[in-house]
Structure 1
Amino acid sequence: MHAFQLLPRLRLIIISLLATAPLLASAQEIEQVARLSLPPVERRHPVDAALEIAEESLQHVRANIDDYTAMFIKRCRVDGVLPPLQFASLKIRNRKLDGQDIVVPLSVYLDFLKPSSVKGREVIWVENANEGNLVVHQGGFASFLTTQLNPEGMLAMRGQRYSIKEIGIENLLEKFVVTAQRDRQHGECDVQIETDHLFGKTSCTLVEVIHPIRREHFRFYRALVYFDNATKMPIRYQAWLWPESPGGPPVLDEEYNYFNLKVNVGLSAFDFDTENPSYRFR
């Protein structure tokens, strides 16, 4: 075939390519713009699911829970020593705010049942009352003497890690949220969540957080939080420190239990008054 016979066909091919080139370029540009316009996908931190549960619980407590009673069982390592469990009947009236103003002060009543070293002790603390002091009497022969103590002073803090100001489920949730938010800044965090865990006869959501490697920014090696599925409130918190030797067991650091929890029972200021005749203050 002569060269001049190819010219018409070649001309058609060239014209076709020239006609489709703008379309191809446009499609490529659109794809590039689409890729650039997509927001970056934020990778979820392992602790995010636990944080969401705690934040939802905290919002629920602040919005819907006025007061509660419970059997409070706790122990907390102080100066390296883990004391025996302490048992106390607990009443708490949650703080309620109107803007920045305290409408209902955080109020606490404790009646210690055991061990014998604390049995008979009664404590009342009401936010901004009694010049900020707690009111306490001991059990046994010292039960006749009622005193007021600075809740953060040496006598009130003897054998304690936290002051009475930090007691309660709302404070527990706030601390957990702050800790989880700090954990989000780091890796090395394993989280497991079991939504249908049975704790005794109580259906719970069990949250487990583990920091396998000891770091200065981590507060604990392992923590367990049991959220009552009915009340949406944590009823148990346990935390362990890292093993003291490779392959050894973790070291229990603290635990707080709110058993037989009853919410919105209608507590009043009189439940936190030393003049209440059902109490043993003198």
Structure 2
Amino acid sequence: MDQAEVTNSDDIDLRPKRRRIVRIVLFVLLGLLLYGGWWLKNESARQQALIDAQKAREGGDFSDVELTGDHPLDQILPIVDGLIEDATAQIVDYTATLERTELIGDKLVGPQTMAVKVRHDSGKNTQNSSPFSVYVRFNSPKSLQGREVIWVEGANDGRMIVHEVGLLGFKRHVVKPDSLIAMFGSRYPVTDTGVIVLLQKLANIGRKDRSERSKDDVDVEIIDGVSSVGVQCKRFRLIHHEKAHEFDFHIAEVDLDMVRKIPVRYAAFGWPGESGEPVLIEEYKYSDVEINVGLGDLDFDPDNPAYQFPE
């Protein structure tokens, strides 16, 4: 048998192996495509449910709701209004550590910790105005450590700049804050970050309840001397007795640092599960808060040498 015949024989013997390898690769690719489609469908449904939940809890303008003093919420809404007024007037910017725990689908995710910098809108249409700006750097868990996000109102066509970790960390990603990718693993977009935004949302939720719920359906508890994230706080607890819609919470708690006049913790709980205890839906804690530290444009610039954004 000459050399050519041996070579042809070897090629024939290898063909079935090559076909098997090709089939395996095709099956793997098909599986990945199917999984990707399933994931996109489920993640889209989850995010749509969150949008529906937010509309159900906060939808509408209830700023003109009259407080007559005969409803449990009438005792706390003026306090929140005063805190918003004071914070808006006095807080220019701040840095903090944010710890969040959120129910994503049916899984409680967290706590995740991140360093945040927030600069509030200093006044539109003025020569020296600065827009609402947010910088976030994830410190934990390890799978997200080093992830960075910057969003500046009115810049980049309303998109945020993201430094992802892992395989996606080779470039800067510019995405809408409420896009599918940006919202993955989160209940709210980065535009909802900050203590003043939180106060504003609480005020609207409270007025919505004041407008739509009877006084017998709501209980309000005010607890003094609560230690929260290392500071003494006044805790406001709102209890719903009847579930108004599928996205309704049973209990909401806000811990207010009355010295600095800011919320340092917010938590919402759903109706009791099998254990008989209310189920945590979301919790946010702001610690190490430093107010009016003089944040500038560089703090919200991905080219800041202190940051790790790719070129």
Task: Give the whole-Å Cα distance in 2 for the aligned partners of 1:55 and 1:193.
Answer: 16
**Shift of residue 217 of structure 1?**
8.9
Q: Mark the CA change 1:279 to 1:153 in structure 2 (over 3 Å): closer, same or farther.
A: same
Q: Deviations over 1:6-40 (max 9, x none)?
A: xxxxxxxxxxxxxxxxxxxxxxxxxxxxxxxxxxx
What's 1:118 paired with?
A: 144
Is 2:250 the counterpart of 1:221? yes
Is 2:264 the counterpart of 1:264? no
What's 1:253 paired with?
A: 281
Tell me the SS of whatever aligns to 1:119. Answer: coil
Q: Deviations over 1:193-235 (max 9, x none)?
A: 1233232541211111111222229831011101112210001
Q: Normalising by structure 2, report the TM-score.
A: 0.72
Task: Give the whole-Å Cα distance in 2 for the aligned partners of 1:43 and 1:86.
Answer: 40
Which amino acid in structure 1 is aligned with residue 249 of structure 2?
F
What's 1:30 paired with?
A: none
Q: Deviations over 1:154-207 (max 9, x none)?
A: 110112221111111111111100110011121211111123323254121111
Is 2:228 the counterpart of 1:199? yes
Is 2:80 the counterpart of 1:84? no
Is 2:98 the counterpart of 1:72? yes
What's 1:154 paired with?
A: 180
**Shift of residue 75 of structure 1?**
2.1
Task: Give the whole-Å Cα distance in 1 for the aligned partners of 2:205 and 2:163.
Answer: 35
- Greater mean deviation of Cα atoms: 133-142 or 81-90: 133-142
Match of 1:129 among 140, 144, 155: 155
**Shift of residue 102 of structure 1?**
10
Would you say the 8 A contact 1:144–1:281 is kept in 2? no
How many residue pairs are counted as aligned between the two chains? Answer: 241
Tell me the SS of whatever aligns to 2:169. Answer: helix
Match of 1:232 among 253, 261, 273: 261
Which amino acid in structure 2 is aligned with residue 248 of structure 1?
G
Q: Following superposition of structure 1 onto structure 2, how do residues 38-117 of structure 1 map, counting pairs within 5 Å?
A: 42-98=68-124, 103-117=129-143
**Shift of residue 81 of structure 1?**
2.5
Is 2:273 the counterpart of 1:273? no
Which amino acid in structure 2 is aligned with residue 266 of structure 1?
G
Which amino acid in structure 1 is aligned with residue 270 of structure 2?
L
Q: Normalising by structure 1, report the TM-score.
A: 0.79
What's 2:198 paired with?
A: 172
**Shift of residue 142 of structure 1?**
4.2
Is 2:219 the counterpart of 1:190? yes
Choose 1 or 2 for highest CA Rg.
1
Would you say the 8 A contact 2:94–2:293 is kept in 1? yes
Q: Deviations over 1:66-113 (max 9, x none)?
A: 000000111222323321211101100012324799932110101101
CA RMSD of aligned residues (A): 2.2
Q: Mark the CA change 1:204 to 1:101 in structure 2 (over 3 Å): closer, same or farther.
A: farther
Structure 1, gaps ≥5 residues long: 1-40
Q: Deviations over 1:98-151 (max 9, x none)?
A: 479993211010110110221110111111111211111123454332211111
Task: Give the whole-Å Cα distance in 2 for the aligned partners of 1:200 and 1:242.
Answer: 25
Task: Give the whole-Å Cα distance in 2 for the aligned partners of 1:276 and 1:102.
Answer: 21
The structure with more helix, counted as a fraction of residues: 2
- Greater mean deviation of Cα atoms: 168-177 or 198-207: 198-207
What's 2:31 paired with?
A: none
Which amino acid in structure 2 is aligned with residue 269 of structure 1?
D
Would you say the 8 A contact 1:208–1:224 is kept in 2? yes
Q: Mark the CA change 1:44 to 1:208 in structure 2 (over 3 Å): closer, same or farther.
A: same
- Greater mean deviation of Cα atoms: 116-125 or 46-55: 46-55
Tell me the SS of whatever aligns to 2:129. Answer: strand
Task: Give the whole-Å Cα distance in 1 for the aligned partners of 2:124 and 2:228.
Answer: 37
